Amino acid sequence: MADAAILNGKDSRRTESLDPVGPEVTTSDSEDNERTNRDGPRWLLLTSAKGGSGKTTTAYNLAVFAANEGLKVAIVDLDAQGALTTWYRLRPPEAPHILHFWSTMNRFQEVFDRLEAIHGLDLVVIDTPPAVEAYDSTIKRLIRRADLCLVPSNQGGVDPSIAANWLHFLKRERARAACILNHAKTNSRSFKPTKLALAAAGSLCPFEVRSLEDIKETVTLGLGILEVTRAQGVEDYRGVWTYVRSELGI
């Protein structure tokens, strides 16, 4: 593993957690902060119909890119398993600050209200649980509010067709949505067929994220790959972030 080192460290960590078992909502973010984003925050939703496709990993890596570029970012963990929250709790205090919420799909409205009240927020990154189709009304509300839905897919097997079907669903719901190939093995023979299948579904992020040990290990560091020196995978996520930022218009 490459050395862990924080770039641009400057802010202390603060937690705004909506705990699924008894939320005591605290906001340390000053309400009188100067508002920098007059249009309100852009919402990025990580969603898929397949577990283990990279929703959580993509969510925190993109949030880290945004935070390191000086944007005010909130991550929202709607998975009761709390993988994104586990990552967040490991985040070193000197790392660029990211606001954090943890709740469940069923209690999403509470998070929604809190997010709407935060001044100066640029970006909200929402991580959803697997089997999200079980939460029909909530996922439809999230889709409607999201400025971009990103659907990660693993390479090969049934994953691309499941991702493509989910993308079709999102488009039927009039969402702005795109697939992204995660866990890419660019030298294996399923690489191009997977990209073709995802591209045929409508929208595909032009940058894939390779399957890399350095990326896998970031979850135990509370860092994004950008913040790990000499790590492989930085350029993969830089490509994805450039695409996402442009799609979101921020």
Ligand X SMILES: Nc1ncnc2c1ncn2[C@@H]1O[C@H](COP(=O)(O)OP(=O)(O)OP(=O)(O)O)[C@@H](O)[C@H]1O
52 binds ligand X (CB under 6 A): yes
Q: What is the sign of the dihedral through the CA atoms of 165, 54, 248 and 84?
A: positive
Using CB under 5 A as the binding rule, whether residue 2 contacts Mg ion is answered as no
Measured from the CB atom, is 56 or 153 closer to Mg ion? 56
Q: Which member of 54, 82, 96, 160 binds ligand X (CB under 6 A)? A: 54
The binder of Mg ion chosen from 4, 7, 83, 219 (CB under 5 A): 83
What is the C-alpha separation between 175 and 200, in angstroms, rounded? 17
Q: Is residue 183 involved in binding ligand X (CB under 6 A)?
A: yes
Residues 96-135 that bind ligand X (CB under 6 A): 130
Q: How far is the CB of 102 from ligand X (least distance, A)?
A: 14
Separation CA 70–CA 211 (nearest Å)? 28
Which residue's CB is nearer to ligand X, number 30 or number 188?
188
Nearer to ligand X, 14 or 185 (CB): 185
CA distance 149 to 177: 4
Q: Which residues contact 28 (CB under 8 A, 6 or more apart)?
A: 14, 15, 16
Q: Which residues ranging from 210 to 249 are in contact with ligand X (CB under 6 A)? A: 211-212, 215-216, 219
Binds ligand X (CB under 6 A): choice among 10, 12, 35, 51: 51
* 29 versus 47: smaller Cβ distance to ligand X: 47
> CA distances (Å), 180 to each of 126, 136, 237, in order?
16, 23, 11
Nearer to Mg ion, 56 or 218 (CB): 56
Which of 29, 77, 79, 247 touches ligand X (CB under 6 A)? 79
Query: Could you please report the per-residue DSSP string of 119-153?
Result: TT--EEEEE--SSGGG-HHHHHHHHHH-SEEEEEE
Which range in 70-78, 133-141, 194-202, 204-212 contacts ligand X by CB under 6 A?
A: 204-212
Where does residue 38 rank: exposed (0-12), middle (13-18), buried (19+ CB within 10 A)? exposed
What's the angle, vertex CA 70, arms to CA 65 and CA 75, rounded to 5? 55
Interface residues with ligand X (CB under 6 A) are 51-57, 79, 83, 130, 182-183, 209, 211-212, 215-216, 219
Interface residues with Mg ion (CB under 5 A) are 55-56, 83
